[in-house]
Structure 1
Amino acid sequence: MVFRIYFETADLARTTIAQRPDPLWEVLLGLHILQLDEEPETFGPWRERARRHLSALEQELIALAPPVGYSPDFLTPRAAGEGLDAGLAAVAATSPAQLKAELGRLSDAVRLPAWTRRLASGDSTVMTRLVHGLRSFHRTKIAPQMPMISTAIEPAVAKHNDTVANDGFESLIPQLHQSLSWSAPVLSVDMPHVNRDLYLHGRGIRLVPSFFCWKYPMMLLDPALPPVLVYPVRHDPARPEIVVRRSDRDRAVADLLGRTRARVLRSISDGACSTSELAVRAGISPASASEHARVLHDTGLVTTHRVGSSVRHTLNQVGADVLSGVR
């Protein structure tokens, strides 16, 4: 089975190589790895620890990211190439039509929980919760690995840049992955269970290196979206295994306040929020969020003030010092 990508002259001029991994693609592919037992020498320790420390928000993401087959395109928008915040903003701005179509396609393959029906209908509260889950997974499971990931990817991307500059695009293809082959004007991706054609029509394609892309290159399903090909960087067997470590700062804050209250304080540090917004960010009930915010306010870490019929919680300087003072 082959995925065939058809180039025109303009496409070669507009093809780019991302210089670093895309944060939301790493989240999606990390979720895939989490559910498999592949490549234990590379991902085993990370997977074991990540499974033990999944928050409620992060667990919900698994429903949208089956490890084999289709995952919705809206989880990895092209805007994520501009950084995590831009990517999450693009996820939040997904049109109701796209949500309904892609979640409907996913439901044909897997059984989805009830909350996904509200997401498909455009429920903003559910979308907000999803966005916070994506941010949380990146912050706790992906970002701590970035020094190690960069060590793997930066030399590979530098080599790819040099190859294109000195020898041209055709010489780059065999470097990216063994499943890729070039016979002008077609880039072929040899992969199981996929037989498709994609015509770039002058849009070019963005080549994105990935640490968590573990076996085959990945593409978006919708041909109307900006073309992206995410390719796995070859893992060096001699490199130390990827691990998950909580920072000393996180541990110290959790030891001081308790894990849930520390999470609430960090959630408030992301920006002023109402109690209901805080509950979504922290993955707890509104009643629990209200109680933890009250305690943080009474101990002088958080400022709470009323706006109309609701209250807003804001991290004050004392709370900021608690979060930063144990660096």
Structure 2
Amino acid sequence: MFRIHFECADLARTTIAQRPDPLWEVLLGLHVLQEDEEAETYGPWRERARARLSSLERELLALAPPVGYSPDFLTPRAASEGLEAGLTAIAATRPGQLKSELTRLSDAVRLPAWTRRLAGGDTTVMSRLVHGLRSFHRTKIAPQLPMIAIAVEPVVAKHNDTVANDGFEKLIPQLHGSLSWSAPVLSVDMPHVNRDLYLRGRGLRLVPSFFCWKHPIMLQDPALPPVLVYPARHDLARQEVVVRRPDRARAVADLIGKTRAQVLLGISGGACSTSELAARVGISKASASEHARVLHDTGLVTTHRVGSSVRHMLNQVGADVLAGGRG
């Protein structure tokens, strides 16, 4: 049993993330990739991902064994602000944390030689790891985001309503069958686990996840910001499937929003700065920056920093989305 101890302040500071965390989805996607269970939910994705796994992405498997411990530094809190913020936090992981967590992992699994250089603070190896994580998100996670949103958003909406109307206590059994509440302790029934986590006023961040499926998951280090990642998958099989010939241009706008679709189209006109993008679309620079950030985080565009400015470019995933919209 994993026991999470609340104080009054913790209940006031407990929050529900409104969407999956990009780096938790990467880590848990890597777990799912190495399993063969839940074929109905993950089978087609798993088959495609395994067939198209690059050597850079394959290296990530060493740090994400499907059973047991995975290093906490792979899922920093900063990723709640977006993929790039999370990757920046990973790159800045303290050497002591790297060494400690990789040593712990090496006690359970055999690690390749490059992980020793990573533990030693080799910036070249860290850069390669960050590129691998970004690539896995762009090629394996981002293309699934529309489907993930359809699966997760109704679940999160239900949880929001429960908290608003009935309170935190009524939410617990909805999150997962392994969770139980006996004030002031939230218990998670997990195999081979006997731990206590004292929140001490920090609150608990509840994060829905599409790729989390066995049971809720938490960080190992109790000093890190507390998080509980829980499975959140709407039963798509029970939804009525309507087959029709779509208006693809409208479908793209419906999917990502009219303004964001216009921003994506604006970027397709060629690499541009945020100011140039704002002028192309006819919106404020701040709005253009925010829409470009979201498109980048979802893998539709690539953003590079050049001196004090950034350049936005359409990537293949974004091009495919627009191609569908023009079809």
Amino acid at match of 1:231: Y
Deviation at 1:232, TM superposition (A): 0.2
Amino acid at match of 1:28: L
Name the counterpart of 2:126.
127
Aligned residues: 258
Deviation at 1:234, TM superposition (A): 3.7
Name the counterpart of 1:154.
153
C-alpha separation in 2, matches of 1:71 and 1:166:
36
With normalisation by structure 2, the TM-score equals: 0.75
C-alpha separation in 2, matches of 1:172 and 1:224:
26
C-alpha separation in 1, matches of 2:167 and 2:51:
46
Name the counterpart of 1:10.
9
Name the counterpart of 2:84.
85
> Is the aligned partner of 1:271 residue 2:271?
no
The answer on whether the counterparts of 2:304 and 2:312 sit within 8 Å (CA) in structure 1 is no
Deviation at 1:87, TM superposition (A): 0.5
Q: 1:201 to 1:40 in 2, by over 3 A?
A: same
The answer on whether the counterparts of 2:303 and 2:312 sit within 8 Å (CA) in structure 1 is no
Name the counterpart of 1:289.
none
Q: Following superposition of structure 1 onto structure 2, how do residues 1-327 of structure 1 map, counting pairs within 5 Å?
A: 2-236=1-235, 238=237, 271=304, 327=323
C-alpha separation in 2, matches of 1:99 and 1:160:
35
Deviation at 1:56, TM superposition (A): 1.0
Q: Percentage identity across aligned positions?
A: 78
Amino acid at match of 2:237: A
The answer on whether the counterparts of 2:154 and 2:234 sit within 8 Å (CA) in structure 1 is no
Structure 1 consecutive aligned stretches of length 4 or more whose deviation exceeds 2 Å? 269-273, 314-317, 323-327
Deviations 1:252-287 (Å, cap 9, x if unpaired)?
xxxxxxxxxxxxxx9xx65379xxxxxxxxxxxxxx
Deviations 1:177-204 (Å, cap 9, x if unpaired)?
0000000000000010111000000000
Deviation at 1:233, TM superposition (A): 1.1
User: Which secondary structure state, in structure 2, belongs to the residue aligned with residue 207 of structure 1?
Assistant: strand
C-alpha separation in 2, matches of 1:143 and 1:209:
16
C-alpha separation in 2, matches of 1:208 and 1:320:
29
Aligned-pair Cα RMSD in Å: 2.5
The answer on whether the counterparts of 2:156 and 2:208 sit within 8 Å (CA) in structure 1 is yes
C-alpha separation in 2, matches of 1:320 and 1:227:
35
C-alpha separation in 2, matches of 1:176 and 1:157:
10
User: Which secondary structure state, in structure 2, belongs to the residue aligned with residue 238 of structure 1?
Assistant: helix
The answer on whether the counterparts of 2:79 and 2:87 sit within 8 Å (CA) in structure 1 is yes
Deviation at 1:215, TM superposition (A): 1.1
The answer on whether the counterparts of 2:151 and 2:236 sit within 8 Å (CA) in structure 1 is no
Amino acid at match of 1:40: A
C-alpha separation in 2, matches of 1:67 and 1:315:
37
C-alpha separation in 1, matches of 2:137 and 2:68:
22
With normalisation by structure 1, the TM-score equals: 0.75
User: Which secondary structure state, in structure 1, belongs to the residue aligned with residue 235 of structure 2?
Assistant: coil
User: Which secondary structure state, in structure 2, belongs to the residue aligned with residue 271 of structure 1?
Assistant: strand
Amino acid at match of 1:12: L
User: Which secondary structure state, in structure 1, belongs to the residue aligned with residue 3 of structure 2?
Assistant: strand
Deviations 1:101-142 (Å, cap 9, x if unpaired)?
000000000000000001000111100000010000000000
